């Protein structure tokens, strides 16, 4: 499965060999938790356990997916589409989320971080124009104009004609 596998390779500490095992662990992310399967290596001679970064990452990703589905949280793609649909930059969206750091919002959109339920509800609430305008006023965010751009040239043409 991976190049980083230790299966069958020697444990230098004792001269035994590692074998692949599985365990069920509960992982917590953003105040939510999920039970996932995680692989690890155990030395068959001395029992030393070794969990590689890759094994931890895979389990973290699985937990994030489980939690996202269970709590019906927005997907990274949905968050980006929501932001782009509102014509906001990442920095502006971060400001609208009670000044959440820009890097965190970027992480949400890249699936690197998982938004908690409060942040998810807040993101969804921004599709309501009144809520968006109220938050923008409070956060000092200048929203893009909702006026149709096509009107400006035609008005100009009418004036010059
Ligand atoms: Zn060993």
Q: Where do the structural domains in the chain lie, given as residue ranges? A: 18-70, 76-139
Ligand 1 centroid from CA 6, angstroms: 12
CA of 59 to the centre of ligand 1 (A): 24
Distance 37 CA to ligand 1 centre (A): 23
Which residues, by Cβ under 5 Å, contact ligand 1, an ion? 11, 14, 16, 43, 45-46, 48
Q: What is the pLDDT of residues 85-96, one digit of tens each?
A: 999 999 999 999
Q: How far is CA 137 from CA 82, 125, 130, 134, 142, in A?
A: 19, 15, 11, 5, 8
What is residue 156's predicted lDDT score, i.e. its pLDDT?
Answer: 46
Q: Report the run of H or E that residue 42 belongs to, with start and end.
A: strand 32-43
| Ligand 1: centre distance to CA 14 (Å) | 4
Q: 65 CA to middle of ligand 1, Å?
A: 34
30: left (phi over 0), alpha (psi -120 to 50) or beta: left
pLDDT digits over 22-36, tens only? 999 999 999 999 999
From the CA of 20, how far away is ligand 1's center (Å)? 13
CATH architecture of 76-139: Orthogonal Bundle (1.10)
Dist. CA 26 → ligand 1 center (Å): 26
List pLDDT tens digits, range 58-117. Answer: 999 999 999 999 999 999 999 999 999 999 999 999 999 988 999 999 999 999 999 999
Per-residue pLDDT band at 148 (split at 50, 70, 90): low
Starting at the earlier edge strand, list the strands of the sheet with 49-50: 18-29, 32-43, 49-50
């Amino acid at each position: 499965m991976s190049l980083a596998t230790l299966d069958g390779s020697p444990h230098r500490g004792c001269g035994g060999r590692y074998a692949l095992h599985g365990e069920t662990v509960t992982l917590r992310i953003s105040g939510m938790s999920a039970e996932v399967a995680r692989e690890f290596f155990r030395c068959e001679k001395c029992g030393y356990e070794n969990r590689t970064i890759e094994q931890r990452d895979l389990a973290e990703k699985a937990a994030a997916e489980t939690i996202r589905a269970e709590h019906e949280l927005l997907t990274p793609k949905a968050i980006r589409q929501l932001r782009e649909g509102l014509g906001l930059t990442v920095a502006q969206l971060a400001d609208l989320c009670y000044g959440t750091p820009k890097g965190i919002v970027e992480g949400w959109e890249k699936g690197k971080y998982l938004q908690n339920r409060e942040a998810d509800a807040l993101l969804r609430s921004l599709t309501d124009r009144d809520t968006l305008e109220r938050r923008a006023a409070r956060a000092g965010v200048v929203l893009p104009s909702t006026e149709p751009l096509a009107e400006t040239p035609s008005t100009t043409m009418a004036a010059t004609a």
